[in-house]
Amino acid sequence: MSRTAIVLLLGGGGHGVVVGDAARAAGYIVAGCLDDEHGIAGRAEEAGLKWLGGLDDLAEVVTKLSDELLIHAAFGDGVLRRQWLENARAECPGASLAPIIHPSSIVSPSAMIEDGAFIGPLAIVNARARIGRGTIVNSGAIIEHDCLIGPFAHIAPGAILLGAATVGDDAMIGSGAKVLPGVEIGADCTLGAGAVATVNLPPGTTATGVPARAVLTTES
C-alpha cells in the first residue's frame, strides 16, 4: 500500500492517538477516528486526531474517503480490537488492514507482521519473528529471533521476549516484563509488569513476580 494512503482509526483513546502519530510519522494521511465515546472527541483532537463519528458510522465514513484506505483497530482491549477488525473486514472488504509500523522501530526483513498489527516507536522485531493479526508490540518492546506471537496479543512498553519465546492469542505481557528463551505463554494469559517468566504458563494464567508465579488461573 502506498504511503499516501488514508488511515481511518477505530478508537480515539490513548492508544488511538499513539497509532495516529505513528501513521503520520510513517507518511500516511490520517483522516481521523471513529469512537462511540463522544467525550473522547476533544481529547483526540488535542493530539491532532479528528473524531469522525461512532463505530456504526464506519460504512458511511468510508464512502467519503479515498479508495486507497487503511483501517486500523486502535484500541488496547484485545476483545474489542478483534471485534472491530472483523467488522471492518466484513463491512469494507476493499479497504486494507495492513499493519502500522512506526519508522523508528527496527523490523527484520525476515520477520512476518500480519494484518492489523501495530509496531510502536523504538520497538524491535528480530529475525524470523512472527507477529499475529491485530497484535500490539508497544513502544520500546523487544521481540527476539524466532518468537511467535498469536493474534490480538499485547506486548506492553519495554517488555522483552527472548529467542523463540511464544505468546498465545489474546495474551498480555505487561510493561517491562521478560519471557525467557523458549518459554511459552498460553492464550489469554497475563504476565504482570516487571515479571520474569522462566517456565511455561498454561492458558488463562495470571502470573506476577520474579520468577513469575501464577496468582490466578481461569481455565481448568
**Could you tell me the pTM of the whole model?**
0.93
Q: Is residue 1 part of a domain?
A: no
Number of domains in the chain: 2
Domain final position from 65, 97, 129: 97
Q: Is residue 113 part of a domain?
A: yes
Give the 3-state DSSP-derived string for the chain, with helices as H, strands as E and coil as C. CCCCCEEEEECCCHHHHHHHHHHHHCCCEEEEEECCCCCHHHHHHHCCCCEEECHHHHHHHHHCCCCCEEEEECCCCHHHHHHHHHHHHHHCCCCECCCEECCCCEECCCCEECCCCEECCCCEECCCCEECCCCEECCCCEECCCCEECCCCEECCCCEECCCCEECCCCEECCCCEECCCCEECCCCEECCCCEECCCECCCEEEECCCCEEEEECCC
Q: Is residue 219 part of a domain?
A: no
My answer on whether 194 and 116 are in the same domain is yes
Q: Which domain holds residue 156?
A: 101-208
Q: Is 145 known to be catalytic?
A: yes
CATH of residue 204's domain is 2.160.10.10
Catalytic residue among 15, 102, 145, 154: 145
Domain final position from 67, 97, 127: 97
Q: Is residue 217 part of a domain?
A: no
Q: Is residue 76 part of a domain?
A: yes
My answer on whether 119 and 203 are in the same domain is yes
pLDDT at 219: 58
Domain final position from 41, 75, 97: 97
Q: Is residue 218 part of a domain?
A: no
My answer on whether 199 and 105 are in the same domain is yes
Per-residue pLDDT of the chain (220 residues; tens, 9 = 90+): 555 789 999 999 999 999 999 999 999 999 999 998 877 878 888 888 999 999 999 988 988 887 789 999 999 999 999 999 999 999 888 899 999 999 999 999 999 999 999 999 999 999 999 999 999 999 999 999 999 999 999 999 999 999 999 999 999 999 999 999 999 999 999 999 999 999 999 999 999 999 999 997 775 4
My answer on whether 93 and 111 are in the same domain is no
